[in-house]
């Protein structure tokens, strides 16, 4: 069941990742919008639209014009003069990116309320024409579009004069346009006289950048055109807006046809603007028009937008290219784009192709991550993500399409990541299973070392100082002959399991198991500076368990489960992998191991249970021992000083914890054999079960003096 669960979970990972990517595409959270917009902006910064001379100009009320003509607002009579000069030059249309919502405060009648003049002068001034009337008269011949603003809050539709018609192809575009509830139009006198009235309001993105210019907006239950749409309509002398919505219900608008020009739009009726960098030819200072310094031929047939770049008039917007721009420039750049036919747009099918990329790419790379190694799947994922990003870039520079590479790339990356994590967990689970299984055959610390240092899996070894424990179980063969072998095997397995567990608790390495005997190695494969102390402490703990286990078996089953004999020795060996190309055997080779084995076997001749060499004892503290003697082991020529631990819970029958009486008697072996015999005879009467007391007394009785003991048997 667990295997099926993990298999099912692995299969579901790519599907889950694809679902996450699709959800991101559908929900389109602000973070994803910001990332996508940042990519689109970067496209424009790297590859801005190349400016092409077209009859679109900005009549800029710039700082220089304010200096030469006067501060803003200018008298409407001056605006009327500007309109007359432009009409005389034969322009196609003029659009004012300026709001004329209040009466001109500089009109003669308005000034009478401020000036204190004689009655005769008041009558004379009152007879002068009103500036708003002059402006309205200048608008009457046509060709001029006035701007108005809309707001989302408040009431008061006050729709300006509508001098156009809508022709819809498909479902109504009204529900999809950006909605507003209140209008601030030009004065009714001016609005009625103008050839068109267009909305000045932008709908910037959440970061305040103007990337799109609306062609249509919703005011209450009515669609109203923007300034740029009205200038384009009036400039062509057209009457209708033809609105096309998607054939798929609920998708929204796809394009708006104004006269002979078809403009692709977003679902809300906005046009993406492909900006150019600053272009001097696009702008004409307003004062030059009023001063007559611009030839009529330069303006003839042009679409003109009157706006301001003066910072004090606060009509500045954030640009995708970075920095700020006058709001009128966004309108002008869209008009240039329409006239040149170089539309930048995000098609209605963009979401579909992006979703398809997420599904195909996510499933493919998720499956690949589950089935292949990390390097291969990561490389392929990087190539695919790079391909998605490159495809988005090519779509932009070759076809001026805005396709989102961010969401598909993120969806693919999530699919790869989740599947990679699942693959890693699955691999880790298999490795853990192998490690746990392998650890039943090989010492866990050796397994860990091999996993962490795979380079060590090479034939050969290195010289290293280690400590060894050899154990043997007395009487095991005879026990096999007396009872059911299956029962003996069960008893032996329980015994070996605990003995090995004790060794592992001291971070010992199981070097080998030989029947009922075990060999434990310390300071290999990982070096342990305290390997002598570990070895002796481990030997004492093993002996303590073995004695208790034998007593328990004897008491519970009445079986004579033999006592364990242990030898402990330290020295230099060659440690490493030995074998051939097909099989490795990690072990140690050297005389130290043979000596440890001999020390284990001499216990049966000495009557002891643990024999530890002086070499091992030299690195130990906190363990009380007593000397056995200088042993010349079977097959050796040099004597080895050997000791028996009598502390840390190891019971020596009849001996105190530090056994000073034995120490004193042992010292007499080399000083005064006669006195030594008397001392050991006294100890033998007090503790007849003490094996070392019996050993030395017997040697003295056989006229063997000193502490040198030559072993004739293994």
Nearest to 490, CA basis, from 561, 423, 425: 561
pLDDT of residue 206 exceeding 50: yes
Query: Hey, is 216 helix, strand or coil?
Result: strand
Instruction: Judge whether residue 429 has pLDDT over 60.
Output: yes
- Residue 494: inside a domain: yes
Q: How far apart are CA 193 and CA 141, in angstroms?
A: 8
Does 69 reside within a domain?
A: yes
- What per-residue confidence (pLDDT) applies to 5? 45
The whole-angstrom separation of Cα 192 and Cα 542 is: 108
Q: Supply the pLDDT for residue 432.
A: 66
Q: Residue 228 — very low, low, confident or very high, per pLDDT cuts 50/70/90? A: very high
Regarding whether 186 and 75 lie in a shared domain, the answer is yes
Helix (H) / strand (E) element for 33: namely: helix 30-46
As a whole number, mean pLDDT of residues 587-612 equals 93
pLDDT of residue 501: 92
In a domain, 450, yes or no: no
Q: Are residues 498 and 549 in the same domain?
A: yes
What would the pLDDT profile of 398-413 be if each residue is shown by its tens digit?
999 999 998 888 888 8
Other beta carbons less than 10 A from residue 132's beta carbon: 25
Whether the per-residue pLDDT at 182 is higher than 50: the answer is yes
pLDDT for the residue numbered 582: 61
Residue 228 falls within a domain, yes or no? Answer: yes
Q: Which tens digits make up the pLDDT trace of 310-342?
A: 877 778 889 999 888 999 999 999 999 999 999
Say if residue 398 is in the same domain as residue 355.
yes
Point out the domain boundary residue: 290, 324, 340.
Answer: 340
Any domain includes 689: no
Query: What span, in angstroms and rounded, lies between the C-alpha atoms of 227 and 223?
Result: 13
pLDDT tens digits for 159-170?
888 889 999 999
The answer to whether 692 and 644 are in contact (CB under 8 A) is: yes
pLDDT at 351 over 70: yes
Q: Output the pLDDT for position 11.
A: 59
Give a yes or no: residue 39 inside a domain.
no
- Shared-domain flag, residues 394 and 326: no
What is the structure's pLDDT at 39?
92
For range 454-466, the mean pLDDT: 72
Instruction: Note whether 190 and 289 are same-domain residues.
Output: yes
Residue 592 lies in a domain: yes
Q: Which long-range contacts (CB under 8 A, 24 or more apart) does 616-621 make?
A: 616/467, 616/532, 616/535, 616/536, 616/568, 616/569, 616/570, 617/532, 617/536, 617/643, 618/532, 619/530, 619/531, 619/532, 619/533, 619/570, 620/532, 620/533, 620/536, 620/537, 621/533
Cα–Cα distance for residue pair 178/212, rounded to 1 Å? 12
Q: Do 395 and 360 lie in a common domain? A: yes
Residues 371 and 481 in one domain: no
364 has pLDDT over 70: yes
Is 40 among the domain residues? no
423 and 462 both lie in a single domain? no
Q: What is the pLDDT of residue 410?
A: 85
CA-based nearest residue to 391, from 417, 409, 369: 409
Neighbours of 492 (CB within 10 A): 18
Are residue 102 and residue 12 in the same domain, yes or no? no
| The total number of structural domains that make up the chain | 3
- Domain of residue 488, CATH code: 3.30.70.1230
Same-domain status, 520 and 614: yes
415 and 539 in a common domain: no
If you write DSSP's letter for every residue of 439-480 in order, what string do you get?
Answer: HTTS-HHHHHHHHH-GGG-SBEEEEEEEEEEEEEETTHHHHH
Comparison of pLDDT for 365 and 79, the residue scoring more:
79
Place of tokens 């999530």: 414
Q: Could you say which of 620, 640, 674 is where a domain stops?
A: 620
Reported confidence tier of residue 427, pLDDT bands at 50, 70, 90: low
332 and 359 fall within a common domain = no
Query: pTM of the full predicted structure?
Result: 0.64
Domain range spanning residue 103? 50-112+125-162+178-237+274-340
Residue that terminates a domain, selected from 403, 438, 473: 438
């Amino acid at each position: 069941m667990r295997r099926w669960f993990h298999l099912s979970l692995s299969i579901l990972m790519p599907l889950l990742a694809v679902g996450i990517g699709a959800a991101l595409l559908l929900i389109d959270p602000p973070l994803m919008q910001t990332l996508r917009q940042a990519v689109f902006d970067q496209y424009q910064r790297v590859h801005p639209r190349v400016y092409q001379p077209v009859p679109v100009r900005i009549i800029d009320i710039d700082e220089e014009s304010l200096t030469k003509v006067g501060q803003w607002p200018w008298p409407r009579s001056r605006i009327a003069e500007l309109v007359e000069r432009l009409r005389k030059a034969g322009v196609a249309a003029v659009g004012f990116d300026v709001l004329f919502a209040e009466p001109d405060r500089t009109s003669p009648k308005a000034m009478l309320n401020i000036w204190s003049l004689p009655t005769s002068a008041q009558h004379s001034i009152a007879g002068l024409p009103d500036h708003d009337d002059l402006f309205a008269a200048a608008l009457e011949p046509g060709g001029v579009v006035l701007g108005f603003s809309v707001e989302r809050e408040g009431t008061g539709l006050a729709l300006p004069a509508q001098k156009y018609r809508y022709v819809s192809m498909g479902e109504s575009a009204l529900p999809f346009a950006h909605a507003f509830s209140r209008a601030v139009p030009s004065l009714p006198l001016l609005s009625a006289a103008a050839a068109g009235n267009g909305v000045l309001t932008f709908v910037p993105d959440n970061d305040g950048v103007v990337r799109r210019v609306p062609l249509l907006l919703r005011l209450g239950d009515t669609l109203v055109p923007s300034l740029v749409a009205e200038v384009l309509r009036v400039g062509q002398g057209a009457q209708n807006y033809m609105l096309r919505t998607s054939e798929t219900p609920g998708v929204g608008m796809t394009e708006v046809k104004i006269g002979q020009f078809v403009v692709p739009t977003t679902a809300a009726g906005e046009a993406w603007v492909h900006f150019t960098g600053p272009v001097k030819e696009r702008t004409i200072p307003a004062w030059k028009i009023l001063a007559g310094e611009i030839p009529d031929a330069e303006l003839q047939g042009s679409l003109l937008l009157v706006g301001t770049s003066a910072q004090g008039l606060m009509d500045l917007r954030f640009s995708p290219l970075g920095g700020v721009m006058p709001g009128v420039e966004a309108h002008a750049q869209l008009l240039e784009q329409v006239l040149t036919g170089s539309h930048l747009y995000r098609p209605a099918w963009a979401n579909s192709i992006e979703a398809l990329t997420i599904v195909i790419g996510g499933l493919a790379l998720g499956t690949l991550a589950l089935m292949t190694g990390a390097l291969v799947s990561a490389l392929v994922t990087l190539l695919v993500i790079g391909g998605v990003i490159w495809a988005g870039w090519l779509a932009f520079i070759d076809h001026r399409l805005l396709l989102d590479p961010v969401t598909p790339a993120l969806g693919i990356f999530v699919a790869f990541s989740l599947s990679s994590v699942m693959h890693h967990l699955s691999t880790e689970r298999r490795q853990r299973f192998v490690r746990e299984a392998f650890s039943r055959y090989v010492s866990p610390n050796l397994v860990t070392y091999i996993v962490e240092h795979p380079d060590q899996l090479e034939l050969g070894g290195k010289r290293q100082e280690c400590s060894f424990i050899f154990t043997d179980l007395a009487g095991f063969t005879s026990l096999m002959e007396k009872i059911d072998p299956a029962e003996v095997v069960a008893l032996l397995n329980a015994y070996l399991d605990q003995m090995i567990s004790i060794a592992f608790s001291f971070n010992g390495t199981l070097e080998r198991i030989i029947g009922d005997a075990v060999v434990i190695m310390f300071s290999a494969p990982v070096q342990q500076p305290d390997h002598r102390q570990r070895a002796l402490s481990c030997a004492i703990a093993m002996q303590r368990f073995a004695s208790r286990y034998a007593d328990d078996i004897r008491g519970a089953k009445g079986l004579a489960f033999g006592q364990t004999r242990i030898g402990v020795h330290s020295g230099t060996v060659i440690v490493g992998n030995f074998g051939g190309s097909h099989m490795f055997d990690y072990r140690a080779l050297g005389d130290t191991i043979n000596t440890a084995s001999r020390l284990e076997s001499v216990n049966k001749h000495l009557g002891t249970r643990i024999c530890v060499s002086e070499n091992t004892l030299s690195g130990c503290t906190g363990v009380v021992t007593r000397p056995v003697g200088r042993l010349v082991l079977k097959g050796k020529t040099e004597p080895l000083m050997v000791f028996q631990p009598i502390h840390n819970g190891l019971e020596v029958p009849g001996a105190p914890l530090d056994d000073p009486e034995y120490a004193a008697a042992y010292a007499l072996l080399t000083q005064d054999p006669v006195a030594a015999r008397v001392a050991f005879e006294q100890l033998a009467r007090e503790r007849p079960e003490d094996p070392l007391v019996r050993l030395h007394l017997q040697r003295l009785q056989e006229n063997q003096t000193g502490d040198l003991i030559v072993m004739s048997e293994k």
